[in-house]
Chain A
Amino acid sequence: MKTQAQKRVLSQKASMNLQCYLMISLQLIGFLVITVYPILWAARLAWFSYDGVASNTRFVGWDNFVKIFTQDTTYWKTWLTTLKFAVFKLPIELPLAMFLAVILNKKLKGRGFFRAMFYLPNVIAVAIIGLIFSSMFDYFGIINAWLVKLGIVNESVDWFANTGTAMFVLVAGAVWNTFGLNILYFISAMQNIPEEMYESARLDGASRTVTFFKITLPLMGPVLQTILLLSLVGTLHTNDYVLVMTNGAPRGETFTVMSYIVSKFVPGFADSTANIGYGCALSLVTTAIMASIAIFYNKFSAKLSDMY
Chain B
Amino acid sequence: MKRNNIITSIFSYAILILVLIVCIFPVVYTVLASFKTNAEILAQPDKLFPTVWSLENYKMAFDSSDFNVGRMLFNSSYYTVLCVCFSIFASTMCAYVFERGEFTGKKVIFTMFSSLMFISLGSITVYPLFDILNIIHLNKSLWGLIVVKMLGIPIVNIYLVKSYIKTLPKELDEAAMMDGCSFIGIFFKVIAPLLKPIVATVALLSFQSSWNEYLMPTIFTMSNPSQRTLMVGVVALKNSGDSAASWNLMLAGATIALVPVLAAYVFFNRYFVSGLTAGAVKG
A and B form one complex = yes
**A residues in contact (CB < 8 Å) with B:** 13, 15-17, 19-24, 26-31, 33-35, 37-39, 41-42, 52, 100, 103-104, 106, 108, 114-121, 123-136, 138, 140-142, 144-146, 149, 176, 180-181, 184-185, 188-189, 223, 226-227, 230, 239-240, 243-244, 247, 258, 261-262, 265-269, 276, 279-280, 282-284, 286-287, 291, 294
List of B residues within 8 angstroms of A294 by Cβ = 118
Q: Is the CB of B257 within 8 A of A26?
A: no
Tell me if B175 counts as interface (CB < 8 A to partner A).
Answer: no
- B:90-140 near A, CB below 8 Å: 90, 93-94, 96-97, 101-104, 106, 109, 112-113, 116, 118-132
Contact digits for B145-160, partner A, Cβ 8 Å, 1 yes 0 no: 0001011110000000
Find the B residue at minimum CB distance from A45.
B127
Q: A188 with B215: in contact, given A20-B97, A20-B183, A103-B12 (CB under 8 Å)? A: no
List of B residues within 8 angstroms of A243 by Cβ = 215
Find the A residue at minimum CB distance from B273.
A184
List of A residues within 8 angstroms of B121 by Cβ = 38-39, 42, 280, 283-284, 287
Q: A42 with B247: in contact, given A136-B26, A287-B119 (CB under 8 Å)? A: no
- Minimum CB–CB distance from A18 to chain B (whole Å) comes to 9
Tell me if B276 counts as interface (CB < 8 A to partner A).
Answer: yes
- Minimum CB–CB distance from A30 to chain B (whole Å) comes to 3
List of A residues within 8 angstroms of B269 by Cβ = 116, 119
CA–CA, A126 and B211, complex, Å:
11
Tell me if B48 counts as interface (CB < 8 A to partner A).
Answer: yes
CA–CA, A24 and B30, complex, Å:
43
Q: Is the CB of B282 within 8 A of A16?
A: no
Q: Is the CB of B124 within 8 A of A283?
A: yes
List of A residues within 8 angstroms of B19 by Cβ = 100, 118
- B:167-225 near A, CB below 8 Å: 182-184, 187, 208, 211-215, 218-219, 222
Q: Is the CB of A262 within 8 A of B123?
A: yes
Q: Which of the residues A30, A119, A128, A223 comes within 8 Å of B231, measured between beta carbons?
A: A128
Q: A128 with B254: in contact, given A34-B148, A41-B127, A103-B15 (CB under 8 Å)? A: yes
Tell me if B85 counts as interface (CB < 8 A to partner A).
Answer: no
CA–CA, A129 and B214, complex, Å:
12
Q: Which of A29, A30, A176, A185 has the most CB of B within 10 A?
A: A30
CA–CA, A247 and B19, complex, Å:
28
Tell me if B6 counts as interface (CB < 8 A to partner A).
Answer: no
Q: Which of A37, A135, A240, A284 has the most CB of B within 10 A?
A: A135
- Minimum CB–CB distance from A283 to chain B (whole Å) comes to 4
- On chain B, the number of residues with a Cβ less than 8 Å from chain A's Cβ atoms is 91
Q: Is the CB of A176 within 8 A of B26?
A: yes
Q: Is the CB of B215 within 8 A of A123?
A: no
Q: Is the CB of A140 within 8 A of B42?
A: yes
CA–CA, A141 and B118, complex, Å:
40
Find the B residue at minimum CB distance from A284.
B121
Q: A268 with B109: in contact, given A23-B184, A30-B152, A39-B121 (CB under 8 Å)? A: no
CA–CA, A29 and B250, complex, Å:
40
Q: Which of the residues B20, B94, B102, B264 comes within 8 Å of A27, measured between beta carbons?
A: B94
Q: A266 with B126: in contact, given A16-B183, A103-B12, A125-B261 (CB under 8 Å)? A: yes
Find the B residue at minimum CB distance from A175.
B22
- Minimum CB–CB distance from A279 to chain B (whole Å) comes to 5
Q: Which of B15, B101, B262 has the most CB of A within 10 A?
A: B101
Find the B residue at minimum CB distance from A131.
B254
CA–CA, A34 and B250, complex, Å:
34
Q: Which of the residues A27, A39, A106, A149 comes within 8 Å of B90, measured between beta carbons?
A: A27
**Chain A interface mostly:** helix
- Minimum CB–CB distance from A238 to chain B (whole Å) comes to 12
Tell me if B81 counts as interface (CB < 8 A to partner A).
Answer: no
List of A residues within 8 angstroms of B257 by Cβ = 125, 127-128
Q: Is the CB of B151 within 8 A of A118?
A: no
Q: Which of the residues A20, A23, A24, A239 comes within 8 Å of B215, measured between beta carbons?
A: A239
List of B residues within 8 angstroms of A247 by Cβ = 239
CA–CA, A8 and B24, complex, Å:
64
Q: Is the CB of B113 within 8 A of A136?
A: no
Q: Is the CB of B23 within 8 A of A118?
A: yes
Contact digits for B62-96, partner A, Cβ 8 Å, 1 yes 0 no: 00000000000000000000000000001001101
Q: Is the CB of A24 within 8 A of B122?
A: no
Find the A residue at minimum CB distance from B182.
A19
Q: Which of the residues A33, A120, A135, A142 comes within 8 Å of B151, measured between beta carbons?
A: A33
Q: Is the CB of A38 within 8 A of B262?
A: no
List of B residues within 8 angstroms of A39 by Cβ = 119, 121, 125
Q: Is the CB of B23 within 8 A of A120?
A: yes
Q: Which of B12, B33, B219 has the most CB of A within 10 A?
A: B12
CA–CA, A276 and B122, complex, Å:
13
CA–CA, A50 and B50, complex, Å:
53
List of A residues within 8 angstroms of B94 by Cβ = 23-24, 27
List of B residues within 8 angstroms of A20 by Cβ = 97, 101-103, 106, 183
List of B residues within 8 angstroms of A258 by Cβ = 122
Q: A188 with B282: in contact, given A24-B94, A132-B254, A133-B26 (CB under 8 Å)? A: yes
Tell me if B13 counts as interface (CB < 8 A to partner A).
Answer: yes
